[in-house]
Amino acid sequence: MNLQQRLMTLTGRHAALEEQLSVEMTRPRADEATVSKIKREKLRLKEEMERLRKDLALT
């Protein structure tokens, strides 16, 4: 998988996590452990996407 494809895959996963977070936050009693887990994963993906964007800019 090349860098551009990897970036697109991560972007899709990030969007899916955003949707999961939105659903969880609309619940009357959002599970804070789940919210925290989703937010950590989103941050990890965002950091990886930024690294890939920098790598793509260098090529």
Q: Cβ neighbours of residue 20 under 8 Å, at least 6 residues apart?
A: 38
C-alpha distance from residue 47 to each of 4, 11, 32 (Å) = 15, 11, 22
Q: How confident is the model at residue 58 (pLDDT cuts 50, 70, 90)?
A: confident
Confidence check: pLDDT of 1 > 80: no
Ramachandran region, residue 49 (left: φ > 0; alpha: ψ -120 to 50; beta: rest): alpha
- φ, ψ dihedrals at 5, nearest 5°: -65, -40
Domain ranges of the chain: 3-58
Q: Would you state the structure tokens that stand for residue 49, as one six-digit string?
A: 């996407």
pTM over 0.95, yes/no: no
